[in-house]
């Protein structure tokens, strides 16, 4: 592990800063890399970590692997890594539903109070990743062993990660950017700093996000070891979603096309090669960014959404009947859905199952898939009044999901609504897409069909946002309990 002697860290000063656990551990190198650590002992000093490009790349590997490791401090199956943040968003919507068990508080839209596990994790985990990114950035910038020409690509990966996690904070602790750019927002730290800062504004937070991600798109490599790594295309996907949330439609379209390559048919499987089931293969051509794992490096039953849909896991996630009815009979994605048990009534929450996600200890979890960004490009084009282009993208996408598909000639609101529905159909269970779209567009979420908890979220409902954790309030002299007024 990285050795860093700093007595201040023993005091556990402030949540957003104390989670810079990289200051006491960058990640045991041997835990994160298949090959031995540079020192061959599983332990390196900060100087060694940034003495060469290879060593710094090992630190990045540790940061990326941290995304899928269970968060042991909470010791809860529904509070793990990035996957648990994303799946919690998915179950807050209307397309899937839970038969209690893990994520039940999220399904009921109740786990948002200052002392809740979800609120604490949703603050601490991104700040931990941000802290590691800051440490990495300083280490690379100050390194005398890494040549200057190698530094931008390394920094691009860390800045992409930092920008991505600041965006998660922006999404979780604020309403839509367009609702109020001056709303209070989590503080920004761009250096290793043990002193807490006051809350900032959403505008300031987005400024930092855009700065990081634009740098990453400009400087990241197009090549990578595998799709668990961040490259130019992944950074572009991150930025596409940020621009989408800000309604920068031209920027969103440009970045989305960079993410998927600009050619819809080349980016996707064909109608005959597409597999609607078994989404645990990081080698699938449609996977853009993943949390890859092997059986001997598994996070076991923490794996979301796979362990929750699959009967070989918890088997407590199901498809909503109203959502199911929105699928046409010639939609191959419907092949993944079936009646769970003939003894269940259609009103039973367990009535419809999906094997879209197959669980195994060696299975991988998608973060981004190219279909998401193809549909971002389609929506962005439509929002700019480019209906012909949006139709073309949408129709090309649909030919890979619908058998004997006949092109549609949609325009205006009907076109945009169809694109948004296709996002839900394609991405259910993943990435909290329905929640993200409802939030950024300041729309509500209505539950119907066989939901056991028929909670409806109004546009800009306070249940869309988390309250600032109590531990941050207790340890940051610049933030007090009033921060949660009207939240």
- Give me the CATH number covering residue 60: 1.25.40.390
* Least confident piece of the model among 35-44, 53-62, 214-223, 402-411: 35-44
How many domains would you assign to the chain? 1
The answer to whether residue 400 sits within a structural domain is: yes
Question: What pLDDT sits at residue 295?
Answer: 61
CB-CB contact of 184 with 175 (8 Å): no
Are 349 and 451 spatial neighbours (Cβ–Cβ below 8 Å)?
Answer: yes
Q: Which residue has the higher pLDDT, 25 or 163?
A: 163
- Position 296 scores a pLDDT of 59
pLDDT at 337 over 90: yes
Residue 28 has pLDDT above 50, yes or no: no
The answer to whether residue 149 sits within a structural domain is yes
In a domain, 462, yes or no: yes
* Res. 300: pLDDT tops 80: no
Domain assignment present for 469: yes
Q: Could you read off the pLDDT of 425-464 as tens digits, one per residue?
A: 999 999 899 999 999 999 999 999 999 999 999 999 999 9
Check whether 299 has a pLDDT greater than 90.
Answer: no
pLDDT at residue 305 tops 50: yes
Cut 0.85: pTM above it: yes
pLDDT at 365 over 80: yes
Residue with token string 């910038």: 141
Q: What is the extent of the structural domain holding 386?
A: 7-276+366-484
Residue 231 lies in a domain: yes
Residue, of 78 and 336, whose pLDDT is higher: 336
Q: What's the chain's average pLDDT?
A: 89
> Each residue of 179-204: pLDDT tens digit?
999 999 999 999 987 789 999 999 99
CA-to-CA distance for 481 and 457, rounded, in angstroms? 25
Residue 288 lies in a domain: no
Asked if pLDDT for residue 26 goes beyond 50, the answer is: no
Tell me: pLDDT of 406 over 50.
yes
**Residue 322: inside a domain, yes or no?**
no
What confidence category does residue 10 fall into, taking pLDDT thresholds of 50, 70 and 90?
A: very low
Residue partners of 1: CB distance under 8 A and separation at least 6: 24, 25, 26, 27, 28, 29, 42, 43, 44
**H or E element that contains 184:** strand 184-185
Q: Report if residue 452 sits inside a domain.
A: yes
353 Cβ contact partners less than 8 Å away, ≥ 6 residues apart: 309, 311, 315, 318, 319, 337, 338, 339, 340
Q: Which residues contact 79 (CB under 8 A, 6 or more apart)?
A: 71, 117, 118, 121
pLDDT for 3: 36
Quote the pLDDT of residue 398.
98
pLDDT score, position 220: 98
Q: What is the dihedral of CA 57, 60, 64, 65, to 10 degrees?
A: 70
- In the predicted structure, residue 8 carries a pLDDT above the cut 90: no
């Amino acid at each position: 592990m990285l050795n860093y002697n700093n007595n201040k860290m023993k005091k556990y000063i402030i949540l957003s800063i104390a989670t810079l656990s990289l200051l006491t551990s960058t990640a045991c190198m041997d835990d994160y890399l298949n090959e031995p650590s540079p020192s061959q002992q599983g332990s390196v000093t900060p100087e060694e970590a940034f003495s060469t490009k290879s060593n710094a790349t090992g630190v990045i590997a540790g940061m990326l692997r941290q995304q899928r490791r269970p968060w042991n401090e909470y010791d809860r199956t529904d509070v793990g890594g990035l996957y648990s943040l994303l799946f919690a968003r998915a179950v807050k919507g209307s397309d899937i539903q839970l038969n209690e068990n893990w994520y039940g508080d999220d399904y009921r839209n109740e786990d948002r109070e200052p002392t809740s596990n979800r609120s604490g994790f949703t603050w601490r985990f991104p700040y931990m990743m941000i802290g590691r990114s800051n440490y990495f950035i300083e280490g690379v910038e100050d390194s005398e062993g890494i040549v200057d020409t190698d530094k931008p690509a390394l920094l691009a990966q860390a800045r992409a990660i930092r920008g991505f996690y600041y965006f998660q904070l922006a999404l979780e602790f604020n309403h839509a950017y367009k609702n109020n750019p001056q709303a209070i927002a989590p503080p920004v730290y761009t250096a290793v700093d043990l002193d807490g800062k006051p809350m900032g504004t959403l505008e300031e937070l987005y400024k930092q996000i855009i700065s990081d991600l634009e740098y990453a798109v400009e400087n990241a490599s197009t090549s990578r070891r595998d799709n668990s790594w961040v490259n130019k295309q992944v950074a572009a996907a991150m930025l596409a979603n940020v621009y989408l949330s800000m309604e920068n439609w031209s920027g969103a379209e440009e970045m989305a096309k960079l993410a998927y390559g600009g050619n819809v048919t080349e980016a996707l499987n064909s109608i005959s090669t597409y597999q609607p089931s078994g989404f645990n293969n990081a080698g699938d051509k449609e996977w853009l960014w993943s949390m890859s794992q092997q059986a001997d490096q598994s996070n076991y039953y923490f794996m979301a959404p796979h362990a929750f849909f699959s009967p070989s896991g918890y088997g407590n996630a199901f498809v909503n009947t109203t959502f199911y009815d929105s699928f046409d009979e010639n939609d191959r994605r419907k092949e993944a859905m079936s009646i769970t048990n003939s003894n269940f009534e259609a009103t039973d929450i367990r009535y419809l199952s999906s094997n879209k996600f197959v669980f195994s200890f060696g299975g991988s979890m998608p973060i981004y898939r190219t279909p998401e960004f193809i549909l971002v490009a389609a929506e962005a084009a439509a929002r700019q009044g480019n209906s012909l282009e949006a139709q073309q993208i949408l129709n090309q996408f649909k030919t890979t999901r619908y058998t004997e598909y006949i092109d549609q000639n949609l325009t205006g609101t009907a076109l945009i609504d169809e694109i948004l529905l296709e996002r839900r159909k394609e991405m259910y269970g993943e990435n909290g897409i329905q929640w993200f779209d409802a939030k950024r567009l300041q729309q509500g979420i209505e539950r119907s069909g066989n939901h056991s908890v028929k909670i409806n979220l109004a546009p800009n409902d306070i249940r869309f946002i988390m309250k600032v954790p109590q531990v941050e309030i207790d340890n940051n002299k610049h933030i007090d309990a009033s921060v949660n007024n009207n939240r």
